[in-house]
Chains A and B, each alone.
Chain A
């Protein structure tokens, strides 16, 4: 029971943080605030991302960028194909907050946050490498897990699971039955 109340208060505190972030930026800067599985997700507009993270680090004491990654929602959404996801951790308040930015596939870029969180540097390179989302202003945007000549971006949903070097990328994915 005690654990239950702890979780509730954490969510309340995170919602307050989201509220203050909305006041700091503007009403339109935040697309939505979602509570799911005891986690709070704030979706911000791309042009407000750096401002929002700067505010969260300096004023709300989310000192650590624990993780940054992207998700390709090709089969699930029509409008915006990718979500870039930042997981923030506050050592002072013991809170976790997820910040998201949605980008379209024909306009796939996000601004860099390297100058706010140095740890974003390798993560953003990974996002570029795996999803082909350009990171604007990154000091060293090279491929990180694959090699430089690698064609395509492997974690996109339209990249085939079975692919040999030299094979065209357009080849439809072979049917893979679990049974």
Chain B
């Protein structure tokens, strides 16, 4: 019996191979332990933790305001949405609702961020499959969005623009014109990319029917975002559980039925167009008024008051040094980021620092759902399947 099993084992000739963590196509420092039969993937086991920065531990020792700067560094490709989810959770505990203009600005920046993040996805995935030039087109367009963000808050990657109660600054002069120019120009670039990639026979062969993630598997594994919609589940937090006045905007919910690598690519492509639509509507209907709520202690006082009003100066110093207390309790808030549901679970003990902050990151789950989609495919396709889930290791390891 033992002999027979050993022969079967030898006939199948399984081989264990290590891939990563230093591998150009693992999007950072993901390590996969692959079990191969010839060139076919029989099993893949993700090994993570190489980028663990203990942000959840560190957050317990920083004030609520300072934690915002840590959150940028989790998912560094779309920092805005991390700030967004964190601030929604803290606002839930404090019972603050940002003014309408603040909410609209949040929507504008998170949709621009979504486009930027999808461009990084597209560029790197094309690079994985062998279309070098697409990478440069994508990063050229992303540069324009980063320029807009730099104009807005001075940072290009770790913004901390969204803070508790609203956003940090109002739009600078000329920003709306520059943004409208981008909205006008971007469809041209989108068509360029579409023509370059979507009908490319090599691309189609490498992506169609590859890495199928069935609907049931996607739900059972907790896959969210474009990857879930590509498997045929019409679920988008912006539509289903609207937050921050997303219900004011008219946009399509993009789904695909196939659940393969191509579907995940195509859903993201169409989502960029929908994001443009949302930004355009938000700019057209941008309400006037303050961009940040006026809370007794949880929001910074207006800068203009600092040299006139003693009370405002005290409040300013207390806000930035000691921080502000948050009522006891717990809250979970989630937003739809470029990758899926980013959620923050915060437990407060009534002090100025979170007692516990936990981030629900979509990539953490997507990396572990990867073996389900990759089983039975070639090693070369594994790279494309991984790219199609668009994981960011900063968010996987936290």
Binding site for B on A (CB under 8 A): 36-39, 41, 63-67, 69, 71-72, 75-76, 85, 87, 91, 94, 96, 98, 117-119, 121-122, 130, 143-147, 154-155, 159, 161, 176, 178-179
Contact = CB atoms under 8 A, between A and B. Distances in A.
8 contacts: A63-B219, A64-B222, A66-B222, A66-B224, A67-B343, A67-B345, A154-B54, A178-B323
Interface stretch (B141-149, B283-291, B360-368): B360-368
B302 interface: no
Contacts of B349: 75-76
Given A63-B219, A66-B224, 13 more contacts: A37-B92, A39-B332, A64-B219, A64-B222, A69-B358, A76-B355, A96-B332, A119-B365, A121-B368, A144-B49, A154-B57, A155-B356, A178-B62
Interface string B65-89: 0000000000000000000000000
A119 B63 CA distance: 32
Which DSSP category, helix, strand, loop or mixed, fits chain B's interface? Answer: mixed
B222 A65 contact: yes
Given A37-B331, A144-B49, A146-B52, A118 B347 contact: no
Contact of B61 (A67, A71, A75, A161): A161
Interface residues of B, number: 45
B197 to A, nearest CB: 31
Nearest to A96: B332
Contacts of A87: 332, 343, 345, 360
A179 B321 contact: yes
B356 to A, nearest CB: 5
A95 B241 CA distance: 9
Interface of B: 48-49, 52, 54, 56-58, 61-63, 92-93, 219-222, 224, 233, 235, 240-241, 321-323, 329-332, 334, 341, 343, 345, 347, 349, 352, 355-356, 358, 360, 364-365, 368-369, 397-398
Nearest to A100: B330
A155 B323 contact: no
Nearest to B347: A71
Given A37-B331, A94-B241, A118 B221 contact: yes
B368 A122 contact: yes
